[in-house]
Amino acid sequence: MTTETVDPRYADLDRWPTALAVEAMLEGQMAAIAALKDQSGAIAAAADAAAARLREGGRLVYVGAGTSGRVAVQDGVELTPTYSWPDERLVFLLAGGMDALAHSAEGAEDDDAAARAEIAAADIGQNDVVIGVAASGRTPYAVAAIDAARAAGALTIGLANNPGTPLLAGAEHPILADTGSEIVAGSTRMKAGTAQKVALNLLSTAIMLRLGRVYRGLMVNMRVSNVKLQGRANAIVRDVAQVSAERAGAALTHAGNDIARAILIARGMDGDSAAATLLRHHHNLRAAIEAGDA
């Protein structure tokens, strides 16, 4: 596995001046992102396929172990505040359970039986999208989860940092972030983890784009949970609906801080009609506006 090989250039890394070591690590991080350049098409195809399933009411399921699992969970949990993706439509399967987020449970990654049992317990089905992440591409927990999910009819996406591995072979949509050897040999929390984080950001954001949860580059489904976001929400409603700050604020209050609904209200719809319109268009604000409903 390329992620496990030793790079002789860094054999004496521990003796380097700290500034040089940091520069070398930074170059490695930049190279990790560049490794995704030829994967944009694969990421886009996976996003399009995922959005099609999710429009039918499916769930996003993130699977992983160790660093890969923690990176996967981080991507998923951010979808709720950013895009109001429902909590009940997110599933996290982390080897060793969610306690492994804070306390290492590295041995759990070998438990393929647990992965299969957890896929079954989650009642994974044909409308669900299962994203398996493993730097090695061989982690038994992730590979087994993808295998079981695909057998259950779910759409499967595999993200790995080594080519020709079981995770990529088992997923319908393989994404390879070929980051090569690490500066600290085998420490996939470095280059591999960075590439995984970027790939997942791209994938999940593209999915939200295709689901209409972004309008004119704005987070029109963002959850308003603090003073800063209240101000941002007002600016979004004001700019999209072309109304005053006062009218935008009144619309947000009437909409219970649902930004997309507030935009429709600010454009002249009543609250119930705005809610029904968004529901009819699967919460896609652009579709609602372009259909002439608002």
Q: Give the phi and the psi of residue 158 in degrees, each rounded to 5.
A: -115, 130
pLDDT for residue 292 is more than 70? no
Q: Which pLDDT band, with edges at 50, 70 and 90, does 6 fall under?
A: confident
pLDDT for the residue 217: 95
Q: Mean per-residue pLDDT for 53-79?
A: 96
The Cα 100–Cα 94 span in angstroms is 7
pLDDT for residue 293 is more than 70? no
pLDDT for residue 4 is more than 80? no
Catalytic one of 109, 118, 182, 246: 109
- The helix/strand/coil state of 184 is coil
pLDDT for residue 66 is more than 80? yes
- CATH number of this structure's domain 2-210: 3.40.50.10490
What are the CA-CA distances from residue 256 to residues 109, 224, 238, 269 (Å)? 43, 9, 16, 15
> Which residues face 131 on adjacent strands?
62, 157
Residue intervals in the chain for CATH 1.10.8.1080? 227-290
pLDDT for residue 60 is more than 60? yes
pLDDT for the residue 102: 82
- CATH number of this structure's domain 227-290: 1.10.8.1080
Tell me the pTM. 0.92
Where b means 16+ CB within 10 Å and e means fewer, 146-178 reads: bbbbbebebbbbbbbbbeebbbbebbbbbbbbb
The Cα 88–Cα 283 span in angstroms is 16
**Residue 118 appears among annotated catalytic residues:** no
**Identity of the residue numbered 65:** A
Q: Mean per-residue pLDDT for 56-84?
A: 96
Residue intervals in the chain for CATH 3.40.50.10490? 2-210
pLDDT digits (tens, 9 = 90+) for 222-262: 999 999 999 999 999 999 999 999 999 999 999 999 999 99
Q: Which pLDDT band, with edges at 50, 70 and 90, does 159 fall under?
A: very high
**Residue 109 appears among annotated catalytic residues:** yes
pLDDT for the residue 100: 84
Q: Give the phi and the psi of residue 247 in degrees, each rounded to 5.
A: -70, -35
pLDDT for the residue 294: 52
Catalytic one of 78, 172, 182, 290: 78
pLDDT for the residue 222: 95
